[in-house]
Amino acid sequence: MAKIATLAHLDLTPEEIDRFTGQLAQILEYAECLQEVDTSGISDTWRSPTDRASLRPDEPRATLTNEQAVGNAPVPAVRGLFRVPKVIGS
């Protein structure tokens, strides 16, 4: 469970790990019934009802301004750049 939490980028508390361990075990046990279905030769790629050729022309067009793109940053942007904790030389 701790390994999964690391993969999921979640800093879970010991209490959360304990609770999720039980609940996930219960859900996965329930999902075991899928194993009784013979799926040999069955596609694992769901074919949606949508057609395949819904591509738009690849043409340049207006996008967000830098001000709009960084406007919602939780720590105010500096010179139009997002700020994050130090990652180099730490």
Partner 1 sequence: MTDQDWTVTNLRRAIAQRDIAAKTVCETFLDRAEAAQDQLNVFTVILREEALAQATEIDEHLDEWRDRPLLGVPVTIKDVLCTQGAATTGASRILAGFDPPYDATVVTRLREAGAVIIGKTNCDEFAMGSSTEHSAYGATRNPWNVERVPGGSSGGAAAAVAARLAPVSIGSDTGGSIRQPAAFCGIVGLKPTYGRVSRYGLLAFASSLDQIGPMTLTVADAAAVFQCLACQDPQDATTVSRPVDDIATALPGNADGTRIGVPRSILDGQSGVDDEARQAFETSLSTLEQLGAKVIDIELPHLQYAIPAYYLVAPAEASSNLARYDGVRYGFRAPNDTGDDGLDAMYNRTRDLGFGSEVKRRIMLGTYALSAGYYDAYYRKAQQIRSLIAADYEQAFAQVDVVAMPTTPAPAFRVGEKVDDPLTMYLGDIFTVSANLTGLPAINLPGGLTRDRLPLGFQLMARPFDEATLLSVGDAYEREAPWWRERPSGL
Identify the residue whose tokens are 């720590």: 75
Q: In the bound complex, what is the minimum distance in angstroms from residue 60's beta carbon to partner 1?
A: 14
Q: Which residues, 7 to 46, sit near partner 1 by CB under 8 A? A: 7-13, 16, 20, 23-24, 26-28, 30-31, 33-35, 37, 39, 42-46
Q: Which of 18, 66, 71, 78 binds partner 1 (CB under 8 A)?
A: 71
Beta bridge partners of 78: 81
Question: How many residues line the site for partner 1 (CB under 8 A)?
Answer: 53
62 part of the interface to partner 1, by CB under 8 A:
no
SS3 assignment for the chain: CHHHHHHCCCCCCHHHHHHHHHHHHHHHHHHHHHHHCCCCCCCCCCCCCCCCCCCCCCCCCCCCCHHHHHCCCCCCCECCECCCCCCCCC
Residues that bind partner 1 (CB under 8 A): 1, 4-5, 7-13, 16, 20, 23-24, 26-28, 30-31, 33-35, 37, 39, 42-51, 53-56, 64, 68-75, 82, 84-87, 90
